Each structure stands twice: as C-alpha cells, then as structure tokens.
Chains A and B, each alone.
Chain A
Amino acid sequence: MAVLTPYGRRGLIVGGVIVFLGLVGLLEAFSTRSIINVLRTAGGKPVAVTLLSLPELLALIVAFVAVRGLLPARPRALDAFGAVGCGAAASAVTAAFVRLGPALGAGGDGFELRDVFIHATPELFEVLGSFAWHLPLAALAAVAVAFVRPDVRRAVTAGAIAVALVGVLSDHVTILLDHNGVPRASTAWFLRGKSLTVAGAATLFGGVAALRWLGERFRPVADRRLAARPARDRRWLRRGGIALAGVALIALPRFAGSYHSEVLNQVGLFVLMGLGLNIVVGFAGMLDLGYVAFFALGAYTMGVLTSPESFLAAATVPGGQPVGPVGFWLALPVCIVVAVIAGTLLGVPVLSLRGDYLAIVTLGFGEIIRVLALSEWLKPFLGGSLGLKRIPPIKVPWLAIGDGCAARGIDVPLCVYRLAIDGPDKPQKLFYILLAGCVVAAFVALRLKDSRHGRAWMALREDEDVAQAMGIDLVRTKLMAFAIGAAFSGLSGAIFAPKLVSIFPHSFNLLISINILALIIVGGMGSIPGVIVGALALVGLPELLREFAEYRLWAYGIVLVVMMLYRPEGMIPSTATLRELRPDDDASPGDAASPSPAGPGTAVAAAGAEARA
C-alpha cells in the first residue's frame, strides 16, 4: 500500500495545480478554443459541439506529465492502479472546488470568493466542471505510454503535438487557407468552424506519427548512403537544400498574407536581437539584462534621423543649410555605429564584474536609458513620454521598381518583385528586410562562432583566469562581444522604428530584455538554430494566441524555471553548453556547493542527461 501514497499525494497536487490554473484565469481565457469538435443534431439542425477544448487539454497534460513522472520504467499492476487513483484524486479535488467554490459566496455575509480571486467566476466553474472527471483518462494514457516502445512513443508524441498545435491554431489555419484561395468545402472534412473534426484529427495524428516513425527508422540508412557519396555530391546537395530553403523563405509572405507576415516580422526582430544577445550570453557567458538599451538606441537614432518632426529636422548646420531628415538607408549605418559605441562604452565599466553583478548592472543601464528617454530633460530631443512620431516607412529601391511596374500594368518577371507588389509599406515587404538582416546576422554569428574571437569568447565563458593566462586579451574580447551584440540589437531597433511609425519609451522596458533572454534559453544558449526556434515558440506562438497576451509573461516565468530545472541546455543545445551543464562533471568547485544530497530536480536532470548521452 505504501507504493500508492505518492500517487495519492501527487493527485492532490495535480488537482491543486488545475484549480490554480483556473483561478489565475488561464482556463477561462482559453475556454473558447476548441481543438476537436463533433456534429450533433440539436433541434433538427447540426451543431458543432466541442469534444476537446484547450482548457481540458491543458488539464490533461498536467495530469499526464505528473503521472508520467511518478511511473517507474516498468510499471506493474499496482502502479497502474495508483496512476488511475492519482487521476481520480486530481479529479476529486477539481470537482470539490467546482462544488464548494460557488457556495463560498452564498454565506450572505457579503463575502464572495470573487472579491479575492477575480477569476472565480461562474464561467470558470462551468469550464472546470465540464472536464473535472476526465483526468483519470490522462493517467491511463500515461500508463499506456509507459508500455510502448520508445520509437513508437516518440511517434505518438509527435502526432499528439501536431494535433494540439493545429487544433489550437485552427482559426489561423482557416485564415491561411482562405488567403491562398483554398475553397472551404474542400477542407470541411478536416476543419469545421474553429477546430478540427474527428476525421481531421485522426488523419493528422496518423500522418505525423507515421512520418516521424518512418523518419526515425530510415534516417540512419539515408545518412549512411549519403556518407558513401563523394564529397562533391554532398556539397551540391547541401547547396541545393539551402537554395530550396531560400526560395521557400522568399515565397513565404506571399502565402502568409498581411497579418501573418506581421507576426513573422515580430519574430524576425526578436531573432535579430536573440542572435546578438546569444553572442554576449551564449558565446561569451556574460549575462546582459540591459540588452534592450541598444534596441532603444537603434530605434531612437533612427527616429531622430528620419522623422520630419525630430529636432534634427529643424536644425541647421553652421553654414545655414537645414539638416533635414535623412532616409532609412543613410540612417541605418549610423544607428548601428551608435549602438556599437554605446555597447563599448557601457562595456568598459563592467569589465571587472562577473556573473550576477554584471546582470544587475546591465539591468540598471537598461533602466537608466529608459528613464532618460522618458525624462523631461531630454524631451526636446527624444519627445519624453510622447515619443517620436511620423517615422517614415522603409523604401527599398528595387521593391519600388516592382510597385512602379505594377502601377503601369507591366508584368514583372521576377517572383520577388511580384511578391512585393502589395501597396507601398505592407508587412510583406518589411519581411524581406528583416529576412536579409537575419541572414546577415546569422551568417556573421556562425562565422564568428568558429573564428579566433569565437573561441576566445568560449574560453572566457569557461574560465576567465585560465583564458587570460592563455594570452587572451580580456578587455578586448569582452568589449568585442558587447559591441557586436549591440550592433545586432541596434539594427533590430533601426528596423523596429519605421515598422511602428511612432516609438515610445515604454516600448523599451526590461521585459524585452527578459523576453530575449528567455528565447535564447529555450532555444539553447550558444545555439544559432536555437534562437530561431526560441523566437518562433516564445514570440510567434503568443502572437497567434491573442487571448494569451495577459499570461505571456507568466508563462515565460514558468518556462525559465522549468527549463533551468529540467533542461538547462535548451531545445537545440550547442555541444559546448551540453558539456558544461552536465551535472556530473560540473566544473565549479568554488561555487556554493551543498554537502546535502542533491534534490529531486538534479536527479531528473541527471537522468535526462544520461538518456541523451
């Protein structure tokens, strides 16, 4: 019987977590998102009824993960029994809350649960009540998954993730299909209203799972065959792949439409900044929490230089000539240079600081920049809290040619031109500029990583004293990291300003720095593909889930903690980070090492590291 105690306790915790998610308001906010629906006839008319909603899915995931974590590698009958009991306990807690919660307000003494917990609404009780008793299903699924072969398990997981993602984002899928002229009738078997049909979900699940399984099965064979080909063939294959990816990216805005291009642009801005911060944090190991400062500098420099309302536009040079606003392309290098100079200047005083002190001081810098931009003192130059307005859109000469031709009814042969013909300043065009910026930045970062500087940064990250002893000029190496990181961020800011037309100091708060940090950590510190994946997951996904906006930072907090506890190397780790973060050869004896046995988190992390090894 003692085997069952942890299951019961875990069940109570799961129930508590689900109630907590409800009280925070997350479940209610998501209650309109349905993942799978079925048709029922009500009053003679067919009505789409939700079979699985997003709140229910979240609750099931929580229960699943909790039970899965408790189950041993080879569960016995008693474990299966305990798992279901765990689900039942969780259900009981949820149901008890649904039953007792509304009663709390009925005492007649003027007190209501809602006075304290603002989300304890009747809607919440309804949402929770609708799935309160389904949680043992998740426990059963966890038991079932424990018995499956690992390759099948991975395939099933991939299929489930695909169904969840497409189901959650089905309104966006519909928009995209409409934009590309796919008739709704031809997809009705797959998507109905704002969610998947059962047939659609099953097809998607089966398809993705099969692909994942086949991919895993035949990957080694393909790799072996490829390795047997001469080097020249492999090189051409690689180039072909890159060219294909390039064509796909260039065609992307055409298929994404205006709104989704805007989302991609947002992701692009953060990829740019992420690549820059990745150099500072991921390569050189200096935690910079004031990174938004350079973004702000880039944006403000662009604003001051190009806006017709800025003080510069009214100023005159000593000869009496008006200075006037300049164009984007002339201002761009200035923005980058300003950011680089600022990066170097801010880098100098913090050269001797390490780790957490560096983090706090840079955070202070970021706040100083924001406070200055907001202040009355600099208002004549930066506009104070009113910000800078009327920043003109970016004009790209060859995209303008496309516009001009289209206006004259001339068919433009090149697809790039055609794609861009969509009005003067549509997000689709900005996408190309951001794409170009990201490609350049990624290329620079990639080349730097394996260069002499890159290796100096990594040496610095591992051990500053040893790096210095090996002849690395600490000052230069550190300043270089700060300067290049600042350049990327300045570039991002310079594109951000015309994108928004007006910029305000409160767009440049600490949360941007933390956002970038979070995306680097999720992607994997020091990993360049990781930055892109992180930006898609942490910037793109929340943009698509608008009702999630309120919980975005809350989720970032959880993501940061959970990643650090269970997967500190990120989703796509770089090899060096992986080595560094293995708990068994953790090379920091000077650290606050505890003599006590490590907690459960370390054990899990260690197990994870073993599994990956």
Chain B
Amino acid sequence: MRRSTTGEQLATAMRWLTAIAVVGVLIYGPFQILRSGKYGPENWIAFVIFGLSQGSLYALIALGYTLVYGILRMINFAHGEVFMSGAYIGFFAADALNRAGRLDSTGGALLGLAVITLVAVAGSTTIAVLLERIAYRPLRRAPRLVPLITAIGASLFLQYTFSGLFGSGLRTYPTIDLLKGSFRVGSVPILKVHVLVFVAAVGLMTALYLFVQRTRAGRAMRAVSEDKDTAALMGINVDGVIVQTFMLGGALAGVAGVLHALIYGQVVFNMGFQPGLKAFTAAVLGGIGNVPGAMLGGLFLGVVESLGPALFLEGLGIPAPHQLKDAIAFSLLVLVLVFRPTGILGERVAEKRA
C-alpha cells in the first residue's frame, strides 16, 4: 500500500472537518428554526412550491448543459446567454402582440403565448447553433481549456451585444391577464404562473426523455455520446447530431427564458448569468450528462435554494438569510463535487480526462 503524503492527509482531514461542520449546520439550523415555530406548515409549502417552479426553470436550462456535455464533454458556458436571448427575443414578440392588443382575450392570450414561445425558441435555437458553428466546432480537437475559454468569451460577447443592441436597462414584459392571480389549495395560495411553469417544464422534460430514448435521432445522439468514432463508422452524421443537440438545448433554454420572463416580468441583458450558473450546478447535482439527473437536480436545487435560507441559516441567528441563497447554491455545488462527484444519479464527473 502506498503511504499517503502529508498533503493528502491534510486534505482528508479538511474533508472530514467540512463534512462534520456541514452535518452540524444541517441538524442544528432546522432544529432551532422548527422549535421556534416562526414558520407554519403553509409557509413551508409555499417555499416548496416557489422552489419547484424556480427549480423547473433550472432544470430546463440544465438540460442544455447536460445534453452538450454528454456529447462533447465540454461545458457550454454561454448557455445562460442562450437562455437570455430566448427571453429577450420573446420580449419583442410579446411587446408587438401587446401593442396590437392581441393578449387581452383568453383565446388571444393562449395563441399569443404560443407565438411568443415560438419566436423565443427560434431566436435561442439560432444563437445556440451559431455558437456551435462559430465558436466551438473549429476547436473540437483543441486542448480542453481552449473551448471553455472560448465559451466564456462568447458569453461576454452575447451579453454585451444584447446590451449594445437593445440597451442595458430593464425591459418590462407585458402582463398577461390570464396568468395573473392565484388560487388556493387548502390554505396555501398558489400563483397560476408557477403552475404553468411547472407543468410546461415537466411536459417538456418528459418529451425530451422520450425523444432521447425512443426515437431514431435520440438513439443517434446516445451513440455519439458513447463513442464518436464508432458512431461515425456506423453511418451517423456526427456533426449533424451535435448541431441537433445544440438546437434541443437552445430550444429548451428559449422556453425557459419565456417562462422566466412570465414569472419575473422583465428581461435584461445580464439575466442569463446567475440562472446559467445555477443550472450548471443543477446539472452537476443530478450527474452531468444524464437527462433525468438534470431534471432532478434542477428541482432539488430550486427547492434547496428556496427552503435553505429559512431552514438552515435562520436558525443559526444569521440576519437576512435570503441574501445568502446564492451562497447556498454554490456551496452545494462545491460539496457535491467534493463528496459525491457523480451527482445524485449519473456518471463520474471528475474523471481522469485532462
């Protein structure tokens, strides 16, 4: 047996200390806050519902990361910007429809939502495909850091292009009367928009899962993800499949963009960064490269982010814990990568591929 070096011993010790500290917080925080009785059951349910709707957005974006990672083994860092472009381009459709007064009636609103979504999806898909064609394809054989740096560059470029073209201020999405308001289940109010987001996301994810598992194109995708060379020998058009993957990811991100805009009611050029990062975290949580994993990871992250500040931090006597929800998400990412790099379900991520 190889003797471990001092450095390795230190690393192991640190790992244990972190684990103990985390477990301590996870037990002590909830214990304190539940004993204090500050939040009733309906509060917790409301947190979970909010978390689920936010999480389904993360999941939709995370699918884009996971699909691309599964095939190219690269992190498409600019995917958050694809999401942003969907929301932004959808805004112009929504604005035009709203000015024409087409969003007022129920039927018009439904049709309008479909049109907005289609325009947004067309926009985000185009951006995703262009991204692949211009920034990633020429670098497919390059060392690994190279496409990642390109992706960071593309992300900055897209953000500030949108800022330059359309202005750096917030743009307000028109409100759709159909989606306003909430209904009650028992004593818990549920926003209609949250229900729409959750249902749409789950529907799309199911469709995607079936597409990947059941169709010919999906099988080709899985084959390319297993082994590109062999897939090419079997007569699969590898480049075509890669473009399809980017299109799928872009389309899902476009839908997510519209849903995000429906919840928050506004778009801005840098809105893609945080959700993109969170969605990546979600993809890693679920096990990157794994389609059901991304869905599960997204929902899980959404709920943890929504529950976490109240459940874990408030009990520790931290004021305004909601400011720390991003810190919770990123800590979760670090903890997962350190203690269970495979994610909840899925393949190993810290594999030996330099």
A binds B: yes
A186 is an interface residue with CB less than 8 A from chain B:
no
**A31-39, A207-215, A309-317, A366-374 - interface stretch:** A366-374
**A227-235, A240-248, A294-302, A344-352 - interface stretch:** A344-352
Q: Are B323 and A376 in contact (CB under 8 A)?
A: yes
Cα A580 to Cα B140 with chains together (Å): 15
Q: Are A551 and B164 in contact (CB under 8 A)?
A: yes
Q: Which residue of B lies closest to A586 (CB)?
A: B141
Which residue in A350, A355, A559 is a CB contact (below 8 Å) of B153?
Answer: A559
Beyond A364-B333, A561-B157, whether A595 also contacts B144 by CB under 8 A is no
A556 is an interface residue with CB less than 8 A from chain B:
yes
B99 is an interface residue with CB less than 8 A from chain A:
yes
Q: Are B7 and A349 in contact (CB under 8 A)?
A: no
A598 is an interface residue with CB less than 8 A from chain B:
yes
B21 is an interface residue with CB less than 8 A from chain A:
no
Cα A600 to Cα B139 with chains together (Å): 10
B185 is an interface residue with CB less than 8 A from chain A:
no
Cα A349 to Cα B14 with chains together (Å): 8
B187 is an interface residue with CB less than 8 A from chain A:
no
B110 is an interface residue with CB less than 8 A from chain A:
no
Cα A465 to Cα B352 with chains together (Å): 8
Q: Are A118 and B165 in contact (CB under 8 A)?
A: yes
Interface range, B side: 35 or more
Which chain A positions have C-beta within 8 A of B280?
Answer: 360
Q: Which residue of A lies closest to B72 (CB)?
A: A592
Which chain B positions have C-beta within 8 A of A377?
Answer: 318-321, 323-324
Which chain B positions have C-beta within 8 A of A518?
Answer: 153
Q: Are A364 and B141 in contact (CB under 8 A)?
A: no
In the complex, per-residue mask of B157-190: 1 if CB is within 8 Å of any chain A CB, else 0? 1111101111110000000000000000000000
CB contact list, A412-451 vs B, under 8 A: none
Interface contact tally, CB-CB below 8 A = 243
Beyond A351-B11, A377-B319, A601-B138, whether A365 also contacts B143 by CB under 8 A is no
A535 is an interface residue with CB less than 8 A from chain B:
no
CB contact list, A1-35 vs B, under 8 A: 23-26
Which residue in A350, A363, A565, A586 is a CB contact (below 8 Å) of B143?
Answer: A586
Beyond A557-B154, A596-B239, A600-B138, whether A355 also contacts B148 by CB under 8 A is yes
Q: Are A476 and B141 in contact (CB under 8 A)?
A: no
A404 is an interface residue with CB less than 8 A from chain B:
no
Q: Which residue of A lies closest to B329 (CB)?
A: A364
In the complex, per-residue mask of A538-557: 1 if CB is within 8 Å of any chain B CB, else 0? 00000000000011011011
Q: Are A568 and B5 in contact (CB under 8 A)?
A: no
Q: Are A594 and B323 in contact (CB under 8 A)?
A: no
A162 is an interface residue with CB less than 8 A from chain B:
no
CB contact list, A494-547 vs B, under 8 A: 514, 517-518, 521
Beyond A367-B330, A568-B146, whether A602 also contacts B165 by CB under 8 A is no
Beyond A116-B92, A553-B159, whether A592 also contacts B334 by CB under 8 A is no
Would you call the interface of chain B mostly helix, strand, loop, or mixed? helix
Chain A nearest CB: distance from B278 CB in Å? 10
Q: Are A349 and B338 in contact (CB under 8 A)?
A: yes
CB contact list, B86-103 vs A, under 8 A: 92, 99
Cα A465 to Cα B7 with chains together (Å): 17
Which chain A positions have C-beta within 8 A of B166?
Answer: 116-118
Chain A nearest CB: distance from B339 CB in Å? 9
Q: Are A595 and B228 in contact (CB under 8 A)?
A: yes
Which chain B positions have C-beta within 8 A of A355?
Answer: 144-145, 148, 353-354
Q: Which residue of B lies closest to A592 (CB)?
A: B73
Cα A561 to Cα B153 with chains together (Å): 5
Chain B nearest CB: distance from A329 CB in Å? 32
Q: Are A590 and B320 in contact (CB under 8 A)?
A: no
Q: Are A561 and B160 in contact (CB under 8 A)?
A: no
Beyond A375-B320, A376-B320, A521-B149, whether A550 also contacts B164 by CB under 8 A is yes
Which chain A positions have C-beta within 8 A of B326?
Answer: 367-368, 371
Cα A474 to Cα B352 with chains together (Å): 14
Q: Which residue of A lies closest to B317 (CB)?
A: A377
Cα A377 to Cα B309 with chains together (Å): 12
A256 is an interface residue with CB less than 8 A from chain B:
no
Q: Are B156 and A556 in contact (CB under 8 A)?
A: yes
Cα A553 to Cα B144 with chains together (Å): 23
Q: Are A554 and B160 in contact (CB under 8 A)?
A: yes
Q: Are B238 and A557 in contact (CB under 8 A)?
A: no
B-side interface residues toward A, CB under 8 Å?
5-8, 10-11, 14-15, 18, 71-75, 92, 99, 134-135, 137-150, 152-161, 163-168, 228-229, 232, 238-239, 277, 280-281, 284, 318-321, 323-324, 326-327, 330-331, 333-334, 337-338, 341, 349-350, 352-354
A359-B148, A518-B153, A554-B159 known; 14 other A-B pairs, CB under 8 Å? A118-B167, A349-B338, A354-B352, A365-B334, A473-B5, A476-B7, A557-B157, A560-B152, A564-B149, A583-B141, A592-B74, A594-B228, A602-B139, A602-B142
10 shortest interchain CB distances as A-B pairs: A560-B153, A601-B138, A475-B7, A557-B157, A557-B156, A554-B160, A24-B164, A364-B330, A376-B320, A599-B138
CB-defined A-B contacts under 8 Å, sample of 26: A353-B350, A359-B75, A367-B330, A371-B327, A372-B327, A374-B323, A465-B352, A476-B7, A550-B164, A550-B168, A554-B157, A556-B153, A557-B152, A557-B157, A557-B159, A558-B153, A560-B153, A561-B153, A564-B150, A586-B142, A586-B143, A592-B73, A592-B140, A596-B238, A600-B138, A602-B138
A-side interface residues toward B, CB under 8 Å?
23-26, 110, 116-119, 285, 287, 289, 345, 348-357, 359-361, 363-365, 367-368, 371-372, 374-377, 463-465, 473-476, 479, 514, 517-518, 521, 550-551, 553-554, 556-561, 564-565, 568, 580-581, 583, 586, 588, 590-596, 598-602, 605
